[in-house]
Amino acid sequence: MNYKHIIFDLDGTLLDTIPDLLYNLNTTFSELGLPGKFSTAEMATFLGSGKDEQIRRALSARRLSHEKYFAKVNALLSVYYAKNTNTYTEIFPGIKETLAELKARGVKLYVATNKPDHVAKDVVRHYFGDNVFIKVRGDKGDGIIKPNPKFLNAIIKNINDPLETIMFVGDSYVDYMSAKNAGVKCAIVPHGYDQKVLNIKDKGVIFLKKVTDIISLDIN
């Protein structure tokens, strides 16, 4: 199939954001006097389902009451989310070259992430500028996030090509389910955070050995 549109996840797919996310979470817990000191490995298990779920998973990991601490953690973490997004974050190797080649071939590029929408747009602008992606979609606070099909459909509905021409590239099981629920092809990058993707048995999923392998697919 000729892929004309590629939607990318952000954290764990285009960007290695764990260092900033980990700093923000540990700093938040420390300032609130809560036991944190989360490891990189722990942080990886908190990601994929948005900021609220990240907080719930972190609280559960330290056996802390969601009812008692969620609001406090959410309020302070939101501050750090907004002001510290690019201190330690890096673009994964091969991503810039891959995006440049795809654009050169006329492929339309998009981002769909469960990061808060305003944060997602700021992060993408900082690392990639304003001319790489047609649309950046983040969590708008309306309860619609991946893998809800309405999330990807917010992008897909404006594409005047068949679903078969659209691919979603991610790193997590949530990304796989997002693509499946939206009816589009799924490709999984090799450098992601979620090891559960290794258990996916769906033969229709493309497991990339390296990011640049996207270019060798049937593109445009």
Q: Are residues 153 and 205 in the same domain?
A: yes
- Strand arrangement, sheet containing 206-207: 135-139, 108-116, 5-8, 166-170, 185-188, 206-207
- Tell whether pTM > 0.75: yes
User: Which of 83, 106, 134 is the last residue before a domain boundary?
Assistant: 83
According to DSSP H, which parts of the chain are helical? Answer: 18-31, 40-46, 51-61, 66-83, 95-104, 117-128, 149-156, 173-182
Same-domain status, 73 and 158: no
Under DSSP, is residue 111 helix (H, G, I), strand (E, B) or coil? strand
Which two three-digit tokens encode residue 125? 């602008």
Per the structure, the complete domain to which residue 141 belongs is given by: 5-16+89-216
Stretch 116-143: mean pLDDT: 94
Residues 54 and 133 in one domain: no
Whether 67 and 52 share a structural domain = yes
CATH of the domain at 61: 1.10.150.240
**Residue 41, pLDDT above cutoff 70:** yes
Q: Sign (positive/negative) of CA torsion 205, 211, 216, 220?
A: positive
Instruction: Report how many domains make up the chain.
Output: 2
The last residue of one of the domains, among 50, 68, 83, is 83
CA angle 54, 197, 208 (to 5 degrees): 120
Each residue's pLDDT tens digit, 188-214? 988 878 788 888 888 889 999 888 889
105 near 219, Cβ under 8 Å? yes
Q: Out of 62, 83, 104, pick the residue that ends a domain.
A: 83
Q: Quote the tokens at residue 20.
A: 């900033």
**Claim to verify: residue 95 and residue 195 sit in the same structural domain:** yes
Query: Do both 11 and 79 map to the same domain?
Result: no
pLDDT of residue 220: 61
Rounding to the nearest 10 degrees, give the CA dihedral for residues 49, 50, 51, 56: -20
Res 1 pLDDT > 60: no
pLDDT mean across residues, the chain: 92
- Among the listed residues 9, 20, 175, 194, the single catalytic one is 9
The answer to whether 9 is a known catalytic residue is yes
Question: What's the token pair of residue 95?
Answer: 């991503």
What digits encode the pLDDT tens for the residues 164-179?
Answer: 999 999 999 999 999 9
Q: Are residues 141 and 209 in the same domain?
A: yes
